[in-house]
Amino acid sequence: MQSSHYGPGPEVDRIRPEDWPQLRDLRLRALREDPLAFGSSWRREHAFPQERWKERARQGSESWDQGTWVLREGERHLGGMIVARAEGEVVEIFSLWVEPRLRGRHLGSQLLDWALLWCRSRFPRRNVVLKVNPREAAAVALYVRRGFVFTGESEPLPHGIFEIVVTMKRLPAVPA
């Protein structure tokens, strides 16, 4: 399961270890553009050493139970997400983001569909969870369209005064 292309434009592809500079650039753009959509901050991650970015790219490309996917157009990354097996019986989706100028073109849907396919192939009996700021209406709507429901759990966003994130869950597909 390497890459997917839905026609003209960016394609979904698993990150490669050598993509660490693009991963760093993508993540810092996301944190700068949408600071209340993430549990980290631009200031915090901008200070990460090069080795940390290299390790993130390596893990995202090679790990069996974790993956990082990007929307790639040539060598430029225009969006991305992380999927990882979490504690217990869940798989978690983190950091789904698409550049603002490209939104409305279903690229977030492509990323999420790819994540769900990967989760189903690797962990068919696990719930898929994610956390989202409820103010991110487009993201919430996308998750609801893909079968996610609110769990009733919430927590404060560490760097956002009076901001929270809520947990959403998608049950595993049950064979007929």
Whether 147 maps to a domain, the answer reads no
Question: H-helix or E-strand containing 35?
Answer: none
Can you tell me which residue has the tokens 């209406």?
137
Of 38, 28, 37, 33, which is closest to residue 136 (Cα–Cα)?
37
Mean pLDDT value of segment 39-52: 96
Whether 33 maps to a domain, the answer reads yes
Q: How confident is the model at residue 154 (pLDDT cuts 50, 70, 90)?
A: very high
Whether 166 maps to a domain, the answer reads no
Displacement of CA 151 from its chain's centroid (Å): 19
Whether 131 maps to a domain, the answer reads no
Whether 38 maps to a domain, the answer reads yes
Whether 82 maps to a domain, the answer reads yes
Domain that holds residue 119: 3-126
Whole-model pTM: value is 0.87
Q: What percent of the chain has pLDDT over 70?
A: 93
d(CA 17, CA 57): 5
Name, in order, each residue with C-beta under 8 angstroms of 139's C-beta and a sequence gap of 6 or more: 37, 96, 108, 132, 133
Whether 13 maps to a domain, the answer reads yes
Q: What is the pLDDT of residues 62-88, one digit of tens each?
A: 999 999 999 999 888 999 999 998 887
Indicate which CATH number applies to the domain containing 80: 3.40.630.30
- Are the C-beta atoms of residues 150 and 133 closer than 8 Å to each other? no
Q: Per the structure, how many domains does the chain have?
A: 1
Whether 170 maps to a domain, the answer reads no
Q: What is the pLDDT of residues 110-136, one digit of tens each?
A: 999 999 999 989 988 889 999 999 999
